[in-house]
Amino acid sequence: MNLLVRLRDELDLSYVFISHDVAMVRQISDDVGVMYLGKVVEIGPWKPALDEPLHPYTHGLRGAVPVPDPSVAQPISATVVGEVPNPADPPSGCTFHPRCPLREDVCVAQVPPLTDAGTPHPVACHVAQREGGRMPLLLAESRAEPAR
């Protein structure tokens, strides 16, 4: 990682770096695009996108980063529950809806567009687009439960 960062800085390089490791992404990235089931669901400068995520899946990814202190409890509300759906037969509407603690009827019926209308950076989420800056608070208060 250090070599990649040094070469980037010395040679003015750009990388497309793909990882599930949020800590590594923080170290190397200027901008991040978070993908779920093959589609970008949130995109923007890494700091607001990862520190104040607007999409429930990004919130869950962030919560899955182990806390390197055994005296600090992992935040249960931030984890993503349920199974990854079959990409060949994805759920209707927002493909994250079976796992989303904030899902509404519209999420099942309509695909959310990736847009920054009403939000600080682009996100594909009906609730984030309606709630805007309140989204980090709603996510912090949400409890992960699988769809019934």
Chain positions 12 to 31 lying near ligand SF4, rule: CB under 6 A, are: none
8 CB contacts (<8 Å, ≥6 apart)? 14, 15, 28
Nearer to ligand SF4, 27 or 85 (CB): 85
Q: What is the DSSP letter of 77?
A: G
Q: Which residues pair with 32 in a beta bridge?
A: 44
Calpha distance 129→57 (Å, rounded): 15
Residue 36, interface with ligand SF4 (CB under 6 A)? no
Chain positions 40 to 59 lying near ligand SF4, rule: CB under 6 A, are: 55-56
Chain positions 106 to 125 lying near ligand SF4, rule: CB under 6 A, are: 107, 112, 125
Unique residue bearing structure tokens 């669901």: 41
Residue 100, interface with ligand SF4 (CB under 6 A)? yes
Q: Which stretch binds ligand SF4 (CB under 6 A): 63-71, 80-88, 94-102, 140-148?
A: 94-102
